[in-house]
Amino acid sequence: MDHFEKFKLSTPLRNGIADLGFEKPTPIQEEAFSMILSGKDMVGIAQTGTGKTFAYMLPILKELKFSQQIHPRILILVPTRELVVQVVERIEEFAKYINVRVLGVYGGVNINQHSAAAAEGADIVVATPGRLYDLAVSRSLQLKHIYKLVIDEVDVMLDLGFRPQLTSIFELLPERRQNIMFSATMTEDVEIMIDDFFIKPQKISIAVSGTPLDNIKQSCYPVKNFYTKANLLKHLLEDREEFKKVLVFVSNKRSADRLFNALEEDLMSDLCVIHSNKTQNYRLRSIEQFEDGTHRVLVTTDVMARGLDLDKISHVINFDTPRFPENYMHRIGRTGRAEQEGKSILFYTEKEKERKEAIEELMNYEIPTVDFPEGVEISSQLTPDERPKVIDMASQHKVRHEPSGPGFHEKKDKNKKTNQGGSYHRELAKKYKKAKTKGDKNQNRRRKK
């Protein structure tokens, strides 16, 4: 308990921590505490299981004052109903001895039930984006007093297609608020959201806990393009004894499907794929078949691999070099567990070379390069992203229109005339002009006589 002394927590909070059996804060909790209390926007990159919920709730609960107001002051967004339930339970455990009202809302439940619960008042709302937006638009839940917004598991949220709802929710929130974001992986979508909605955020990145680099033999291949990578992967996977259980990481859903199609003919009985466009049943079946050995190769994206707890992975193959070095650490941490030796292979093109160097800088380790096998076909087929951009030269030479000037001759006098309503109307208007003063009115009367 002494480890939490420096946080200067209230006695009720300390008693709640003691009941949970926490002895010392995790690295993400150490780093996030003072930053969240400072009120600055913050982005935390850390694995699931590192204590992220406690990392943001501890400083929030420390400064949350008792209030009887109905409208919530803290909003926590998570991607699934299961996480809503889990986070609400954790907050109630932390705040066991504090008078805090916590409300969880999510889809799949009658919205009137949530509206009635919101009407009773809440200090903290934990919600999925879709249900929260529905409640806010119907004015069942007002967001005008929210001063801290927490977005947890944001990479999963964006991969599941919640960006429109998130953007709409941002527009309903007060401009003066603190934004706190947590993610296990950095993706381009996450980076775009940070740039669009955060103000000079402070970033915390916690290394993958327990990644046994000493147990993982790393290597890399320089490869020309996507389809050459596919040919190389097929070549390596021919050795069934060596490549017993292989996790193949790609950068996005399109690449996952493209790779599956390229390998399907040769490896159909060995191959399965998961990403967020696949149905829940399909994903669960693929994972089960990979785990029980029915399939020995699983193609997945960074986000979908987050919830996987798989044993005895013989190889992790980075088919695409991740843009963010931390993601590489998450990937290779899937092998070499429980003091077993694991192997990691990285494919990189010339365009991905800088990314590889960034990974090596993060690890302070140069990944050994393996010569490209002679028997592997170097493909000339390119993906849409690899094809050179076609520049429309016609659009590059647009005709410049000079500003129009005066006509080339003077108009004739008769054409300079303007329609003023006819001489009769002009004379009448002159005779009976609009009265500006009382004197004018008298003048008009004399004229009529």
- The model carries a pTM of 0.63
User: Which architecture characterizes domain 213-363 according to CATH?
Assistant: 3-Layer(aba) Sandwich (3.40)
Classified as helix, coil or strand, 221 is strand
Rounded CA gap, 110 and 314, in Å?
A: 46
CATH class of 2-205: alpha beta
pLDDT in tens, the chain (449 residues): 457 777 888 888 888 888 888 878 888 888 899 999 999 999 998 766 668 888 999 999 999 988 888 999 999 999 888 889 989 999 999 888 899 999 999 988 899 999 999 999 999 999 999 999 999 999 999 999 999 999 998 888 887 788 999 999 999 999 999 999 988 777 778 888 899 889 899 988 876 544 456 788 999 999 999 999 999 999 999 999 999 999 999 988 899 999 999 998 888 888 998 877 777 678 778 888 888 889 999 999 877 666 566 778 999 999 999 988 878 887 888 887 666 788 999 999 999 999 999 999 888 899 999 999 999 999 999 999 898 877 665 555 555 555 555 544 555 565 565 555 555 556 655 655 555 555 555 555 555 55
On the CB side of 61, how many CA atoms lie within 13 Å of its CA? 29
Chain position carrying tokens 């103000």 = 199
Strand partners, 203: 43
Structure-block tokens of residue 91: 């907050």
Portions of the chain given CATH number 3.40.50.300: 2-205, 213-363
Q: What does residue 282 show for φ and ψ, rounded to 5 degrees?
A: -65, -45
